[in-house]
Structure 1
Amino acid sequence: MPRIHVIIPAYNEEKSIKQVIAAIPQELVTEIIVVNNNSTDQTAQVAQTAGATVLFAAEAGYGNACLTGIAYCLNKPAPEKPQIIVFVDGDFSDYPNEMPLLVQPILENRADLVIGSRALGNREKGAMLPQQIFGNWLATTLLKLFYNANFTDLGPFRAIRTETLVQLNMQDRTYGWTVEMQLKSAKQKIRYTEVPVTYRKRIGFSKISGTLKGTVLAGYKIITTIFRYL
């Protein structure tokens, strides 16, 4: 079994982070890394008590938290470096117990990147707001149009081979992170696939889709990222 690390970017998720960590199949992963993205609550303490490695990312931004986690993984000695990295959100909207579905195509050497698609899976009513559903549709339509990429979702729950992640040279520090990974995979002809995943209403309040400002900024960043790499 290859070494699998899980990276969880987390900003003020003290109410949910324990459940996320507990739901991760422990027999599958070698380390769970929670990147505390400048939280003002007890996220770090709860995560540490739950058994996760906690890193601190002072600069706000989803992508920045992910990059902090990646740098930690890549700085490990070769025998401890993960071969697969899984990303999952800290709000318990994803089902971490479905992680075997995401890593299976990589283990079977059928893909190097696997996106957990909420569009293909079962979504609890109200789990995604109308603006999220529309934004995903628009982004994936543009990815198909400009990059000939066949995605149905920009879902945060995803698995990727570590060497592939290095090859992608990820740069985005905010909302463009997920779409950057997908468009670069299409451009570089990386093998990718999607698997249906289950999605529920998150615990707590969304800092992005829960506010008009967050929705507009995220949408703007995603669209401009798609055009920047053309």
Structure 2
Amino acid sequence: MDVVLPCLDEAEALPWVLARMPDGFRALVVDNASTDDSARVAADLGARVVPAPVRGFGAACHAGLLAATAEMVCVMDADASLDPADLPRLVAALADLGAAGAPALVLGRRRPVGRGAWPPHARLGNAVLARSLNRRAGTRLRDLGPMRAARRADLLALRLADRRFGYPLEMVLRAARAGWRVAELDVPYRPRTGTSKVTGTVGGTVRAVRDMRRVLAEAAS
């Protein structure tokens, strides 16, 4: 099982994340032009480091997906807000949901644990986007969760085009329109380690919402 970890300046968080990677799960730390020691830390801890020199969340995810070799892959943030120990539950749900080879996607629905885990502005932006997605795709999701599991070949077949923060929404939108089975499982969501680039700042949330709205607009055109 390969775990794609998009990484931008997460040297402080990586030791905790990689130490909690379950047996049988291989970490692919996708270094998205970090300016700290993320790549060195990851390599020293035994993770495979995948370079993604052009910055962008979608660019990092796509690079990790291309580098993966396992049949099933997971994607999750590398900032210690999510616990890799929860990954086996998503993979088990994926195996049940995608029985007989049917394409499927399982998302971790965030349940905040600890003060400041999910700032109000980020939670509001996520809720608005989830409602818009549900109207467009016929899904019934409550979170565009950053922890996910799917079959690698199925994800590549979606031909996801966004290379910025619209990537997670585009994945769900295209999967739903292609008739995939999509489900959510609750996962704990903790305050991240280090400085936030997205949900912890209003500016980061605005950028993410803008990118995702663009994906929705392009899908409707």
TM range (shorter): over 0.9
Partners of 1:100 and 1:209 lie apart in 2 by: 25
Within the candidate set 91, 101, 116, 1:103 is matched to: 91
Matched residue, 1:88:
76
Q: Which amino acid aligns with 1:159?
A: A
Bigger mean CA deviation after superposition, 56-65 or 207-216: 207-216
**Mapping 1:1-230, distance limit 5 Å:** 4-26=1-23, 28-29=24-25, 31-73=26-68, 81-108=69-96, 109=98, 112-118=104-110, 121-230=111-220
Partners of 1:106 and 1:145 lie apart in 2 by: 24
SS of the aligned residue for 1:6 comes to: strand
User: CA-to-partner distance for each residue in 1:194-220, whole Å, 9 max, x for gaps?
Assistant: 111011000011112333332221111
User: CA-to-partner distance for each residue in 1:40-67, whole Å, 9 max, x for gaps?
Assistant: 1000010001110001111111110111
Shift of 1:71: 1.5
Matched residue, 1:78:
none
Partners of 1:192 and 1:210 lie apart in 2 by: 27
Number of aligned pairs?
216
Q: Which amino acid aligns with 1:54?
A: V
Partners of 2:147 and 2:127 lie apart in 1 by: 17
Shift of 1:126: 1.6
Please provide the CA RMSD for this pair: 1.4
Shift of 1:93: 0.2
Partners of 1:92 and 1:214 lie apart in 2 by: 18
Partners of 2:175 and 2:88 lie apart in 1 by: 22
Shift of 1:191: 1.1
Matched residue, 1:76:
none
Shift of 1:192: 1.3
Name the TM-score, length of structure 2 as normaliser: 0.93
Matched residue, 1:77:
none
Shift of 1:122: 4.9
The answer as to whether partners of 2:121 and 2:202 remain within 8 angstroms in 1 is no
Partners of 1:122 and 1:213 lie apart in 2 by: 21
Q: Which amino acid aligns with 1:36?
A: D
Partners of 1:161 and 1:56 lie apart in 2 by: 22
Shift of 1:173: 0.7
Q: Which amino acid aligns with 2:48?
A: T
Q: Which amino acid aligns with 1:46?
A: V
Work out the percentage of aligned pairs sharing the same amino acid. Answer: 33
Partners of 2:191 and 2:93 lie apart in 1 by: 27
The answer as to whether partners of 2:56 and 2:164 remain within 8 angstroms in 1 is yes
